[in-house]
Chains A and B, each alone.
Chain A
Amino acid sequence: MEKFQLKMKVNGRTVTVAVEPGLRLLDVLRDVLHLTGTKEGCGEGECGACSVILDGELVDSCLVLAPQAHGKEVVTIEGISREGELDALQRAFLTAGAVQCGYCTPGMILAAKALLSRNPNPGRQEIARGISGNLCRCTGYAKIVKAVELAAAELQQKEGAAGV
């Protein structure tokens, strides 16, 4: 059938591609745009490995058809760090030892990012809820929660400093 002219902003850059409308956003990111930082773990919304931020909202890109993202703005793990500098969350994940096999990590970081953008100072329960759509089979979550706390604290401190 006819291809869909998909135009969206990905990590700040506008992309226009003709795609089969049956492709998922995940497939477009990985196979068409070669942004393979976004992972597929289950393909049905259970694991969150495919999480991206779509117009400010955390979504599972395996549940989004490509045309549903038309005209929207997508942020993937590749868009988190600026000019090769790791973002506070990325650094915190390293410091806290929240990365083992690393396969859940991109989705986890995006979930945390979405949480912090809405709630810059979340409590443990709020963090747990914020990452509840993301499965990690390796770490056992305690270190991931710790990492989010660390990043939140760092960002808060910066805010504070900037405010002085």
Chain B
Amino acid sequence: MSETCVVGKSAPRVDGPAKVSGKSQYGADIDIPGALFLKVLRSKTPHGMVKRIDVAEALKIPGVVRVFTHADVPGENSYGIIVKDQPALTDQVRFRGDALALVAAETEEAAKQALEVIKVEIEELPPLYDVWSAMAEKAQAIHAKGNILTVSRVKKGDAAAALRTAAVVVSRRYTTQRVEHSYIETEAGVAYMDNGILVIKAGTQNPHYDRRDVSRVLGLPMHKVRIIQAATGGGFGGKLDISVQCFLGLAALKLGRPVRMVYDRRESIAATGKRHPFLVEYTSAADREGKLLAVKAKIIGDTGAYASYGPATLNRAAVHATGPYEVPNVDIEALCVYTNNPFSGAMRGFGTPQMAFAAESQMDLLAQELELTPLEIRRRNVLRPGSLTATGQRLDHSVGISATLEAAWEKAGRVMPGLGGEVK
């Protein structure tokens, strides 16, 4: 009988040998003879309405087969994991990098040359680069429903009352930056028609969602679309969103020829999602013994031009705003806001790393006020079996944070002797 139990053992990776010998095929490695090269013309303007796209000159370049614009999108020209707000090819520019036209050509050179000569007329609108201007009363709406996309709230107890009577109250404002995933493989893939079925092979973290969005944008029934995940060179959340898939699908479907596409690093950085920059106004209150009494926070996440995973990220941020600590009174509000920045989506931790920065900084500040050590204030507040979370969930099984904290402290003491002079 074959060994079935692998728990607790190091099992060899099934894809390991292919990867160490260079045989794994990533999106850009797939050899499809006769494939056309695709390139996207991206907007240099951050905000505006597309008035006209003139592709006549581009079509004269030898080797250029076709140039697609928003007018050529056969289905619903909008995709998105949570909100369908991102066009495959757009007639309204919402960030510098929005896709305006797609060139298919016999060679990469011809496709690149074509990008140079496509003329685009855009009626520019004032760009909204920060959440405050985007939330201002008279701000131009980036999407029809306005610039505040979602508001998530977590409320427990009476935070206002607790803040009025607490022994110590600490209030600070935190900002975190936009972060690029920089997976080492840029977005790439191929597509072809196979017996009336559109096949797309690309690096992705989300083949099933890709399939849904591709079929929507191309107006094809789901069973006519097949997505095959090519070996994927890192994603970290960034490859959950559509990148090359709709372009590949559109061109293969319309032209009936295999197509391929690779983003270079610049395009990868310019066109794809980022970690949400956060702005957090955070107030914490504790009693004399350092027990947390209340947390009140307002979180604003800049989701940029499109929602992507924004609503979920801000929701997660609200839920995790109190960190791994038990807080009896909680009042959190998290807003997901559109701006004309590159869009923000999923990235490792989904809004919680940003909140950890704020929440842990608050703990240190409270400790300082109370003349406790940073370790001690955490010991007194970590979630334990039986604790109630900010959302009111009773943790009645195991809760690891206390043991983790002690183990980390013990290890820190070993690798950094005399750490902070703190007495255990």
Contact = CB atoms under 8 A, between A and B. Distances in A.
Interface of A: 30, 34-44, 47, 49, 76-78, 80-81, 86, 90-91, 93-94, 97, 99-106, 109, 135-138
B26 A39 contact: yes
Contact of A49 (B29, B184, B235): B184
19 contacts: A35-B22, A37-B21, A37-B22, A39-B26, A39-B184, A39-B185, A40-B28, A76-B22, A78-B21, A78-B22, A81-B21, A86-B21, A90-B20, A94-B12, A94-B13, A101-B184, A102-B15, A103-B183, A104-B233
A138 B182 CA distance: 10
A101 B205 CA distance: 12
- Give me the 4 closest cross-chain CB pairs, A-B, nearest first: A37-B22, A103-B233, A102-B19, A77-B22
A137 to B, nearest CB: 5
Contacts of A47: 184
Given A76-B22, A103-B233, A103-B234, A94 B184 contact: no
A103 B184 contact: yes
Contact of B183 (A34, A81, A101): A101
The secondary-structure label for the interface of chain A is loop
The secondary-structure label for the interface of chain B is loop
Nearest to B265: A42
A41 B184 contact: yes
Contact of B265 (A43, A86, A93, A105): A43
Given A38-B22, A90-B21, 10 more contacts: A36-B31, A41-B265, A42-B265, A44-B265, A94-B13, A94-B16, A102-B19, A102-B24, A103-B185, A105-B20
A140 to B, nearest CB: 12
Contacts of B19: 99, 102, 105
Nearest to B24: A102
Interface string B216-251: 000000000000000111111000000000000000
Nearest to B188: A40
Contacts of B264: 43
Interface residues of B, number: 32
Contact of B185 (A41, A81, A93): A41
B22 A106 contact: yes
A23 to B, nearest CB: 11
Contacts of A136: 184
Contacts of B182: 137
Contacts of B18: 102
Contacts of B185: 39, 41, 101, 103
B387 interface: no
| Residue from the set B20, B29, B233, B234 with the largest chain A CB neighbour count within 10 Å | B20
B265 A102 contact: no
Contact of B231 (A43, A78, A102): A102
B22 A36 contact: yes
B26 A103 contact: yes
Interface string B110-148: 000000000000000000000000000000000000000
B402 interface: no
Nearest to B25: A36
Interface string B64-77: 00000000000000
Contacts of A80: 21
B16 A104 contact: no
Interface string B7-51: 000101101111111111110110100000000000000000000
A49 B235 CA distance: 16
Interface in B168-200: 181-186
